[in-house]
Amino acid sequence: MSIAPTVADYMAKSLVTFGPDLEIIKAMRILLEKDVSGAPVVDAEDRVVGILTSRDCMHVAFSASYYQEWGGRVAEYMTSPVETIDSATDVVTASRRFLDSRYRRFPVLRNGRLVGLISRHDILRSLVDMWSSHAVQT
């Protein structure tokens, strides 16, 4: 029986990240320019302190249109604490985490530091790859 691939084998490694002190408007523009729906928020040592999602940004935009005030820092709007997953986690275990969670992505950590991001799409791709290779072997 073969060992399942790990999250590290399928995670995105080239990430958009934010610092907690970045202006929220700048962060929102970056999300739009990069066409991503969320990004981890990290401290100076690449430790995840939050995640800023398009949903968080909708709160910002709604508040701004209601109160006529824009501004603030990412730290004021990010979701924290963040559910993370270790890079050595096998994809089958990771798929269970996604099934048990409302989140669409998890920051991936190695030794407590951010090394990637894994999404439901990435896990689905890994499982299809596993099934395909298993079908070829049988």
- pLDDT digit of tens for each residue in the chain (138 aa)? 357 899 999 999 999 999 999 999 999 999 999 999 899 999 999 999 999 999 999 888 777 666 666 778 999 999 999 999 999 999 999 999 999 999 899 999 999 999 999 999 999 999 999 888 766 555
Domain edges within the chain:
7-137
Chain center to CA of 27? 15
124 half-sphere exposure, CB direction, 13 A CA radius: 6
DSSP SS3 for 110: strand
What was the pLDDT predicted at 132? 84
pLDDT the model gives residue 75 = 96
Distance, CA of 14 to CA of 117 (rounded, Å): 9
Output the pTM of the full model: 0.85
Is the backbone peptide bond immediately before 81 cis, with ω within 30 degrees of 0? yes
What's residue 60's pLDDT?
83
Q: Is 138 helix (H, G, I), strand (E, B) or coil?
A: coil
Residue-level pLDDT at 68: 64
- Residue in the structure block whose two tokens are 């290779």: 133
Nearest alpha carbon to residue 26 among 79, 71, 78:
71
- 7-137 under CATH 3.10.580.10, yes or no: yes
Position 59 scores a pLDDT of: 84
Packing angle of the helix pair 120-137, 91-99 (nearest 10 deg): 140
- On whether the CB atoms of residues 6 and 88 are closer than 8 A, the answer is yes
- What pLDDT, on the 0 to 100 scale, is given for residue 1? 38
Report pLDDT for 120.
95
